[in-house]
A and B are shown apart, each in its own frame.
Chain A
Amino acid sequence: EPEVTQTPSHQVTQMGQEVILRCVPISNHLYFYWYRQILGQKVEFLVSFYNNEISEKSEIFDDQFSVERPDGSNFTLKIRSTKLEDSAMYFCASGEGPGELFFGEGSRLTVL
């Protein structure tokens, strides 16, 4: 069964460092998303991406965040200068249409 895969599963970084989280969405999907979940809290929307551009982003997705689909298969989330409060589980999701999302297992980011 096709699935969304994310790497790394866990990354530990120092505050101020750049981090890139990678996702391989399901191959025929057209809609891509990043969500995050701070430990014990809600799953929060970060950004959606369709047709090679951002379609919507939340207040959390400030100038420190960017997304890219560099090669037609990967979908990356970059955090330019990490802060302690960026520590969270980051989930990538993809869908054929906007209504049905399949999530990856997540990448846990720990900022020290």
Chain B
Amino acid sequence: AQSVAQPEDQVKVAEGNPLTVKCTYSVSGNPYLFWYVQYPNRGLQFLLKYITGDNLVKGSYGFEAEFNKSQTSFHLKKPSALVSDSALYFCAVRDMSTGGYQKVTFGTGTKLQVIP
């Protein structure tokens, strides 16, 4: 079974400050991890993904995420937040250990609010 947890329903940060949105996962084998962003009444936009390789993954709009196997975490980060980053962020995971296509499990989402 695979699962993902986003412990914070909401994160508030001042514009220009660094931001972190937390995500932890649980899989049987190796994880395939994603971050998506959703603006109001819109679908999800892909930000970045981790499969293998460098633990620090860089994505769209200046976002990056750090894969930490020992802590089973994949936190989303940005060095300097913008007001336009305010949105709902979803972490997602797929277990790569089983054959065939496996569905992706999404977290419950974290609402990011960047304060001017």
Q: Do A and B come from one complex?
A: no
Question: Which B residues lie at the A interface, using CB under 8 A?
Answer: none
